[in-house]
Structures are given as C-alpha cells and as structure tokens.
Structure 1
Amino acid sequence: MTVDVRTDPAPASVAPRRPARRRSAKPRLTRIGLSVLSVALGILVWDLVSRNYTAFFLPSPMLTWQGAVDLVRDGTLWDSVTASSTRILTGWALGVVIGVPVGLLMGCIPWLRLMLDPYIQFFRFVPPIAFVTLAIIWLGPGEASKVALIFYTTVFIVALNTLAGVLAVDDLRLRAARALGASPLRTLVSVVLPSTVPHVVTGARLAMGNSFLTIVSAEIVAAQSGLGSLIWTARNYAKTEWVFVGILALGLLGYLFDWILRTVTRTTLRRYGVTF
C-alpha cells in the first residue's frame, strides 16, 4: 500500500502586503515631482524671455531674486507680508464668523431669507474697491478701513455658500430627523450643519482669494505698509523687480493660507466623522 503524500503549494495569490503608507507615498512623490518640474520650467521660460527685454520691462529671475534679498535684508518684505497677512486674516475671520450664522438663519427661516435676499444680491455685485474712498472717510486711513473692506468681500460669499448648503440638504433626512423626535436645534446640529460643511469650506476658500484682491487695492490707495503698498512704491522708484517680488509674495502667501485652511479643515472634521 502506497501513500501519496502531496504538498500543496502556497496559493499564488497570497503575497506580502505592503504598508498603506508606501502605496500612498509614491503618487504623492509623483505629484510633488511634477509640481517642482513645472515650476522649474516656468522659471526657465521666464529667464529665456527676459533676455530679450530690458530689466525695467521684464526683470530676470536672478534680478528678481536679488531684489527679494535686498528687501528681506532691510526688513521691508517681512513688514509688508506681516501687515497684509494681519489685515487679511482679521477681516476674513470676521466675515466667516458672521457669514456662516447669517447663511444658516437665511436657510432655516424663509421670511428672513426673503428680507435679506435683496441686500445680499445687491451688495455682492458691488466690488470692494468701490467702497475704498467711503471706508477711508468713515473709518480713517488706519487698519479699520482695510479690515472692513476684507470683511465686506468675505461675508457675502460665505453667507451665500452656507445658504446654498442649507437649501441643498435632502428633505428626506430632515423629515426622518423630525420623525425620530429631533428638535429643530437638534436637527440643525446633527443634520443641517454636517451637510453644509463642504459649502462653508468652499465659501471660505473663495472669500480668501477675494481678500487678496481687495487688500492690494486698499493698500495701494491708503497704506504705508503691506504688499500692495510695496508694489506701488516700486512703481514710483521704477523698480520693476520689486513689483515682481510683491506679486510672487502674494501668490505664495495665498497658496500657503489655502493649504493651511484645507489641511486644518480636513484634519478637524475627520475627527467628527465629516468628510468632503
């Protein structure tokens, strides 16, 4: 009697799993590499084009870098970035704090929405630059006028996006909450707010972009410091490279603020089970 002893080979499909971090790290490195390559190509094209023009018309990347170094050494660039950042963050934060409750109330109370809608629809089409003169007359040339203009450009965008989020909440979810005995306040906190968060974040990001547009106009008209003032001063002294430094600083600062807003929002909301 023979006994056939067979050893089953290990299933071919069984393979050691790689950590999730390694799988997600490769696409991330690819995105970073492509971004760096894109920036390098842009600087190269800028340098090649600048060789055909004078430094006054189009300064080279090296000349712009030297201008940035000079402005950093004498403290002008840091003072300008600090002044503009403070004004933007203050006005933007006030706009978000006021805009979100206004949007929620308009979405939950129909008669309030009908009363406030004409004002919001009117003022959201009036650009903040139109109020620069009035802001200076009413609030003076100090910080209050700049902050008020940033607040103006933020509050309507945030309120409208919040209102859109409230109106987009599925009516079946609202009726289910009522059927389970949830009070209006409980329904607002547990159903309406989580559904509205993506719209609020989108409105806050859009408002941040508009805040940068507004601050430059306000600082050009009436400010002794700030990136807008730096750009205007560079024009008066025919320092085009300083203009480029101010523009680059605005773009990098806006990119940084938006990245911080997205990162903080996602990290915070994930703890509460809210994703978007």
Structure 2
Amino acid sequence: MKTIVQQEVEIKPIAKKISVKVYWKKILKTGILTWLGLLLIWSIAARFSDPQFLPSPLATLQGAIELSKDGSLFIYMAYSFARVLAGWFLGNLIAIPLGLFIGSNRTIRALVEPLINFVRFIPPLAFITLFMLWFGIGEQSKIFLIMYATFFVVTINTLTGVLSISEDKIRSAKSMGATDLQVLRYVIIPAAIPFIFTGAKLAMGSSFMAIVGAEMVAANEGIGFMIWNARLYFQTDWIFVGLVVLGLMGFLMDRLFAWAGKKFLKRYNIVS
C-alpha cells in the first residue's frame, strides 16, 4: 500500500494542473487576451501606416492626455452621456407601456403594427434636420432623436415578448377569475421582461449612434462634435480618442445595465 506521503506527492501535480486550468479560464472570461490581441494588431498596423492615416495606440493615448489637460474631454463625455441617458430613459418610458398595450390588444395591433414596421426603417439620422426645425438646435432636438432611436427597438422587443406568451397561460389565469389588469400584471409583464430587457440593451447602441450624428451636425460640445471638429485640423489621433471613448462609455453602460438586470431581475431569467 502507498503511504500518505506518496499519495500527497502524486496528488500535488494533479492539483497544480487543475489550479492552472482554473486560472486560465478566469483570465479568458475577463477578455484581457482579446484586448491585448487587438492592441497588438493595432500597433503593428500603425507601424506600417502613416500616423495621419492610422495613429498608434500610444499616439491616441497622448491625444487623450492632451485633450484632458484643460478638461475638455471630460466635458464632452459628460454632455454626450447626459444626452444619451436622458433620451434612452424617456424612450423606454414611452415604448414599454405602448408595446405592452399594442401586444395585448389585437385590434390596436392590427392598426398600428404596419405603421411601426414602416417608420422603424427610417434611420434616426434622416430626421436630424427636421428635428432641428421642430425642436430647435438646443438639447431638445438631440434628446428627441435618441428617443426615436430607442423607441422602436424597445417597442418591437416588448411586443415580441407579449406575443410569445402562450394563449393557454392567459386563458388559465382568466378561468381562475383574474381580471385583464391582473393578467397584465401577473402573466404578461413577467413573461415579457426578458424581451424588454434585451430591447433596452440593444437600444443603447442605437442611442450612441444617434447622438454622434446629432452632435456632428448641431452641437458645440460632445464627443460627436469633438470628432467632427478634429477633422478640420486633421487631428486623426483626436478622432481615435473619440472612437475609443464612445466604445468605453457604451461598454461601461452596458455592463452596468447587465449587472442591474442580474441583480434585480434574476427571478425573470435575465441572460446578459
């Protein structure tokens, strides 16, 4: 028979291999390797390109430091983030109840759904000029543009969530004496929440796309304005700073929203 010491000697290498595998799995989940790989490819491509055509990561970092010295970068970020957050929130506030109402009423759905499927294919940027005429060149036009970008994504996802509910569930609830309001509260809304969550998450991307276009055309501040203004001086590094900042802002907002979904909507099987 093997002694305890011999068994420990044999177990240690196996335990070490297992711990290394677990460690590497944790690293892979963080996505660090993906970011490092992207930076490596970017650096190599920039080395063989004109700096005015493709600045390196280091040049982009220097551009960010330059813009940060007078605080302008953070001011632009604050303006863009406030606009996106306001428009996205208001868009959700209107779209979710409307999607639930349209999905729950066949007559209304038959009347409204064709119109929704027509208008939703018109991109938000096509309305920039009209929104400036209707709401002025101030904050209202930009916020309404983001609301428009958010509205249809969330409405359609909410509508899809309502329509995915089995008719048997609704009939069962009504057979037990549930009113239409109780069916909406205890059957329809809980079943539609994962779809609503996904719609709101997708709408974030649409909101960032809309705000960049709006700020390029009608703004004196914001990341979109910064990118558009940088082209006048051929500051390609500033353009890349804007692109990276937009990506980071969207990524952090997405992660925060996903965390909130897991934290507060866990019972509804939110997958993010």
Match of 2:178, SS state, is coil
- Cα offset, 1:229, TM superposition: 0.4
1:178 and 1:118 map into 2 onto residues whose CA distance is 29
Q: Is the 8 A contact 2:149 2:203 kept in 1?
A: yes
- Cα offset, 1:71, TM superposition: 0.9
2:25 and 2:249 map into 1 onto residues whose CA distance is 22
- Cα offset, 1:238, TM superposition: 0.8
Give the 5 Å matches for 1:1-276: 29-33=26-30, 35-270=31-266, 273-276=267-270
1:117 and 1:96 map into 2 onto residues whose CA distance is 18
2:27 and 2:168 map into 1 onto residues whose CA distance is 43
Measured on the aligned residues, the alpha-carbon RMSD in Å equals: 1.5
- Name the larger-Rg structure: 1
- Cα offset, 1:119, TM superposition: 2.1
Q: Which structure carries more helix by proportion?
A: 2
- Cα offset, 1:197, TM superposition: 0.5
Q: Is the 8 A contact 2:194 2:268 kept in 1?
A: no
- Cα offset, 1:223, TM superposition: 0.5
- Cα offset, 1:209, TM superposition: 0.6
1:248 and 1:204 map into 2 onto residues whose CA distance is 23
Q: Which amino acid is the alignment partner of residue 197 of structure 2?
A: V
Task: Return the TM-score normalized by structure 2.
Answer: 0.88
Count residues in correspondence: 250
Structure 2 stretches lacking a partner, 5+ long: 1-18
Task: Return the TM-score normalized by structure 1.
Answer: 0.87
Q: Deviations over 1:166-211 (max 9, x none)?
A: 0110111111111211111111111111100111011111111111
1:27 and 1:61 map into 2 onto residues whose CA distance is 26
1:274 and 1:205 map into 2 onto residues whose CA distance is 16
Structure 1 stretches lacking a partner, 5+ long: 1-21
Q: Which amino acid is the alignment partner of residue 220 of structure 1?
A: M
1:52 and 1:114 map into 2 onto residues whose CA distance is 57
Q: Measured at CA, do residues 248 and 170 of structure 1 come closer, stay the same or move farther in structure 2, by a change above 3 Å?
A: same
Q: Deviations over 1:72-112 (max 9, x none)?
A: 11111101111111111101101101000111100111111
